[in-house]
Amino acid sequence: MTDHEPFSILFEDDYFVAINKPAGIMVHRTGISEDKVFVLQLLRKQLGNKRIFTTHRLDRGTSGALVFAKNQESARHLGEQFMAKTVSKKYLAMLRGWLHEPAVIDYALTDKESNKGALDAVTRYAPIANSEIEAAIGLRYPTARFSLVEAMPETGRRHQIRKHFAHINHPVIGDIRHGDVKQNKYFRNVFNFYRMMLHARSISFQHPENEQEITIEAPLGEDFIQGLELADLTFEE
């Protein structure tokens, strides 16, 4: 992502602006990051240096729907909805192995950076498609299996979806921190494919102006589609 590539605007009014965040860029500066550019500064520039406020974040490697507020009151309004767990978010994730039935992962998570204890964390998911390709990634099998799932987090813990799928032994493909080292290495070395296969497909919340629910959807990028094709998976938008 460079300063010359404008973000795709998914929604904009006097209260909010939502973009389709590409993978590989952080939302904003952090104390431990050495990144030089961030979504927040680039989007401000794209909007004519107007002030905007973060309302939530996506990990650097995650793409998809990302909402900013145009004023503090709108940011507060949406923040209260996040706290009340009334914001609905849906993600697409490509995982190692096969999953066949919808289920709920209810597993408390800790965050070492915040020094907090284990916090409740719940993720619902529903399988969309399965595939199997000829790829001797490990020593035991001549093929590799993958699943495409829709994940719906009911809480917003750091790296929640990534940690939850790793917990049930179906890690997200391309997840360097929580994923499968052999799978990730295979995709890098054989396919020259580096991105993490997690995409924020949609976000729904109540608009402060009219209290009507709005849903913002983020189409899949070419890189995510490429990852699906490498695993012989398809998704109908």
What pLDDT, in 10s, does the model give residues 88-136? 999 999 999 999 999 999 999 987 666 677 889 999 999 999 999 999 8
DSSP string computed for 29-70? --TT---S--HHHHHHHHTTS---EE-----TT-EEEEEEES
Return the SS3 of 185.
helix
**Exposed (0-12), middle (13-18) or buried (19+): which is 181, by Cβ within 10 Å?**
exposed
Can you say whether the dihedral through the CA atoms of 41, 47, 52, 55 is positive or negative?
negative
Mean pLDDT score, 24-52: 84
Task: Share the mean pLDDT of the chain.
Answer: 93
Contact between 166 and 179 (Cβ < 8 Å) = yes
According to CATH, the topology of domain 8-230 is Pseudouridine synthase (3.30.2350)
pLDDT of residue 150: 99
Give yes or no: 59 in active site.
yes
Catalytic residue among 59, 111, 180, 223: 59
pLDDT of residue 107: 96
pLDDT of residue 117: 78
Percent of the chain, pLDDT > 90?
Answer: 84
Angle at which helices 181-191 and 222-230 cross, to 10°: 100
